[in-house]
Copies of this chain bind each other. A is one copy, B any other.
Amino acid sequence: MTRVHDMGGRFGDGPVDPAPDEPVFKEDWHARALAVTLAAGALGQWNLDTSRHARERLSPKDYARFSYYEKWMAGLADLLVEKGVLDESDLTGQGDGSRHPLADRALKPDAVAAALAKGGPADRPSNVAPLFVAGQAVRTRRPSANALVDGGHTRLPAYAAGARGHILRLHGTHVLPDTNAHGLGEQPEPLYAVAFPASELWAHPEHPRDEVILDLWQSYLEPA
């Protein structure tokens, strides 16, 4: 694995608790954490891939002990400092409270609904031609790793690294997280749904016809 967030297939986590009557936000601070993260994101100082990577690179101990929104808060604080929006004195409460140069970009209440509704599509025109067609056998790269940045963001889970599957469909050409997370451009390329037999991924698959489908970028794949 590259990092501890890459937990697909891991043993030892115990049962899932369906908690059917849980409210949308179990604690008030969960709601505030979500909202602060979205509002801070609207300042435009990073993209979604960067913010995912900020959570992934929490120390393994922190990642393991933090609850979901604690990871969000820690990732956000780290990003705010790393991108120069805040400095560490701000976090310790010793910073100055004067208006920030980016304050003009702050998300206004009446702009919220439109901003959320607008979203941020990830498909882009690309001059990278698709190499694979539906049905074609492919193998994923091994190890799962960012090919450009040592320890960088990537979206190939370790459990599927080096595995043989087949192309299910082409989703179009999408922003490549491996570059986009690190300020190396969007570099859009073909994105595929790739089907893997469970028997290719696990030593003890539950059923002979089970499959796991992953969305994988062309540069993660080679013909098999």
CB of A59 within 8 A of CB of B145, answer no
A105 is an interface residue with CB less than 8 A from chain B = no
CB distance from A211 to the nearest CB of B (A): 16
CB distance from A40 to the nearest CB of B (A): 23
CB distance from A188 to the nearest CB of B (A): 22
Determine how many copies of this chain the complex contains.
2
Could you mark each residue 174-204 of chain A with 1 if its beta carbon is under 8 Å from any beta carbon of chain B, else 0? 0000000000000000000000000001111
Could you mark each residue 3-42 of chain A with 1 if its beta carbon is under 8 Å from any beta carbon of chain B, else 0? 1100101111110000000000000000000000000000
Known: A143-B159, A162-B161. A11 touches B151 (CB 8 A): yes
Bound-state Cα–Cα, A3 to B159, Å: 12
CB of A10 within 8 A of CB of B14, answer no
A60 is an interface residue with CB less than 8 A from chain B = yes
Please give me the residue from chain B that is nearest to A14 by CB atom.
B59
Bound-state Cα–Cα, A203 to B161, Å: 12
Residues of B within 8 A of A203 (CB): 143, 145-147, 150
CB of A61 within 8 A of CB of B64, answer yes
Bound-state Cα–Cα, A159 to B159, Å: 11
Known: A64-B61, A143-B159, A202-B145. A4 touches B9 (CB 8 A): no
Mind listing 22 A-B residue pairs with CB under 8 Å? Answer: A1-B10, A2-B9, A3-B12, A4-B10, A4-B12, A4-B64, A7-B60, A9-B143, A11-B57, A12-B60, A60-B64, A61-B64, A63-B64, A64-B65, A142-B163, A143-B159, A143-B202, A143-B203, A145-B203, A145-B204, A150-B203, A158-B158
- 4 further contact pairs, Cβ within 8 A, besides A9-B143, A145-B202, A145-B203: A2-B10, A3-B11, A12-B63, A142-B162
